[in-house]
Chain A
């Protein structure tokens, strides 16, 4: 759980503590969901190995941190995970000619198992963590009676920065526009001279990068283990669906909703039920409004899913 130092006064401070915890987890979920969305937009497939990118980011950063300073270790971890993303696309995805959705689901699940087992061989079963970026695990910052750990600010700050940087990339750079063009209309993009295959590789690289950044920044709080990607992938998938597949702005909102719901659920439900919340939401949204909270039914129909 989050290292929250409980304030003395009840009620309102409690409320904010829960809120802060919810926002922190919401940020992580949103980051994973955005990773899903990047690949979904470029290829129309769900990459179920997305959680493994987060795990790899955390694990690699911890290992590199043994002989490198923290910022370099994180940078190295992100670069390595990006390479893994590129290799996955080039080896497993690129040569497929118009694969069916089911085939892609099975392939990406296979990749996730492969990465997890490889991680088990490399790192074993031990639970690891990076040190807190600033302060320590017991220090906290007092924000008007609410005590929060400095790492929470790092998670939320880096998450917000990553979202802003991605949005800038997609909307302001030629490369980002090329990726959007490919996802809007692949043939038309190729007729503009855009290499659609490279755009798909790039989407895996970007998605791996944002996953790894997320993994590195949260691992001081949540710790990381060879199999910690899977539950994150489920939460991230829930958030991506909740917001509407492909819509990254909505994913941030949906991430906050899930994070905060989970956090406040502890108030009224036994802690064990916390994990059930995301599954319940996932099922509910798939039954009731598969296009997501913020997506229009029309947009959902346009996507080939």
Chain B
């Protein structure tokens, strides 16, 4: 579905991504883990078109999207839930969700939007309760749900999530990850970027490890979870201490 080859991008003179190559198949949950500043967010911003790729190729459904602006990429079926949620704070929950459906309206599929609202409210009953509330007054977890709901309204083939667990309480993180799993069961493809490597690998099929702009490791989620290097660097296990015991 998504195939990236030797992708490089950055801000101004700063090169953040170096020769990144990866792919995502339809129906997969793929996660990218890595420390702060490894380039995870830049990678998603480049795929979604918010940052222009410098070189390399990004093929989405066999179509080159590296030079397209974000508003075009959304129309092709690649949606992003941005880092820090980025809901439209002064607008109501319903308006936020409705704006997510904008590509549907443009494709003259406005009739389907009513059904999509039902579907979304089925996944996120909390959002239906708060339909008329301003998005800025929601809790962090609710805002994350709203950001996911907004992205889903475009009926994306691929949904990319940037740090959905950021700043949320453990119980709510559990809810959010359950939703990601549910989305896959309903046939969606998910690219999940996370600092919370353990939780992300727990639900993913495959994973990539990003370090200072390079992919240093890739494999199935089980392989990565049992890899000593990954355990030490990203899963917080102190193997030396365990070995001494």
Report how far A195 CA is from B151 CA in the complex, Å: 16
Q: How large is the interface on A (under 10, 10 to 19, 20 to 34, 35 or more residues)?
A: 10 to 19
CB distance B99 to A191 under 8 Å? no
A193 in the interface (beta carbon within 8 A): yes
B137 in the interface (beta carbon within 8 A): no
List the B side residues contacting A190 at CB < 8 Å: 49-50, 69-71, 74
List the B side residues contacting A185 at CB < 8 Å: 86-89
List the A side residues contacting B50 at CB < 8 Å: 187, 190-191
List the B side residues contacting A193 at CB < 8 Å: 71, 74-75, 102-103, 106, 154
Report how far A174 CA is from B50 CA in the complex, Å: 23
CB distance A191 to B103 under 8 Å? no
Given A192-B99, A192-B102, A192-B154, check contact A181 B91 (CB 8 Å). Answer: yes
CB distance A174 to B105 under 8 Å? yes
Number of interface residues of B (CB under 8 A): 28
A103 in the interface (beta carbon within 8 A): no
CB distance B80 to A181 under 8 Å? no
| Interface residues in B85-114 (C-beta closer than 8 Å to A) | 86-91, 95, 98-100, 102-103, 105-106
CB distance B69 to A191 under 8 Å? no
CB distance A174 to B102 under 8 Å? yes
- Contact among A174, A177, A191, A195 with B91 in the assembled complex (CB-CB below 8 Å): A177
A-B contacts, 20 of them at CB < 8 A, read A174-B98, A174-B102, A177-B98, A181-B88, A184-B91, A185-B89, A187-B82, A188-B82, A188-B87, A188-B88, A190-B50, A191-B48, A191-B50, A193-B74, A193-B75, A193-B102, A193-B154, A194-B71, A194-B102, A195-B71
The 8 residue pairs across chains A and B that have the minimum distance between CB atoms: A193-B74, A188-B86, A184-B88, A193-B103, A190-B70, A193-B71, A181-B88, A193-B102
B195 in the interface (beta carbon within 8 A): no
| Interface residues in A132-179 (C-beta closer than 8 Å to B) | 174, 177-178
Interface centre among B69, B70, B87, B89 (most CB of A within 10 A): B70
CB distance B70 to A184 under 8 Å? no
List the A side residues contacting B82 at CB < 8 Å: 187-188, 191
Closest chain B residue, CB of each to CB of A196: B71
Query: Residues of A at under 8 Å CB distance from B?
Result: 174, 177-178, 180-181, 184-185, 187-196
List the A side residues contacting B86 at CB < 8 Å: 185, 187-188, 191
CB distance A180 to B88 under 8 Å? yes
Report how far A196 CA is from B49 CA in the complex, Å: 14
